[in-house]
Amino acid sequence: MHGNPMPDSYVYVTEEGVTRHYADGSVEALAWEDVVEVRVVTESGEDVHYILLDRDGEGCVVPRSATDATFLARLRYLPDFDLDRLNLAADSAHDGVVVVWRSPDPPSALPDLEYD
């Protein structure tokens, strides 16, 4: 068989929100108006992941490799979002999770999130 292998997920960014479709048929979706926190997860040898969370700790995990200018441009609509902070966290040599943005009116606490 020729051609590129099927990717493990697709990410769609619209004016309304972001959606990730996995190869197994599962879907994660979050409306931009519901985003209260943006995290960056880095691990040596792995793709960087952006995690968007809502007030209930539900969210959408977006691999950096699946992002484009549309995704980054849309993040800038979040109040006081700092694209430089996002890029610094994503390019960090340290493994871990960094909260790069939080809503001016966030919930009291958000749970840790497992990601793929």
Query: pLDDT tens-digit profile of 60-86?
Result: 999 999 888 999 999 999 999 999 999
State residue 92's pLDDT score: 86
Q: Tell me how crowded residue 59 is: count the other CB atoms within 10 A of its CB.
A: 25
Residues 112, 76: Cα–Cα separation, whole Å: 24
- Hey, what amino acid is at 43? E
Q: Which of 46, 17, 38, 32 is nearest to 113 (CA)?
A: 38
Q: Can you give the pTM of this predicted structure? A: 0.83
Residue 47, pLDDT above cutoff 80: yes
- Residue identified by tokens 């430089």 is 84
- Residue identified by tokens 């840790």 is 112
State residue 1's pLDDT score: 44
Structure tokens at 16: 């309304």
Asked if 26 and 39 count as a contact pair (C-beta separation under 8 A), the reply is no
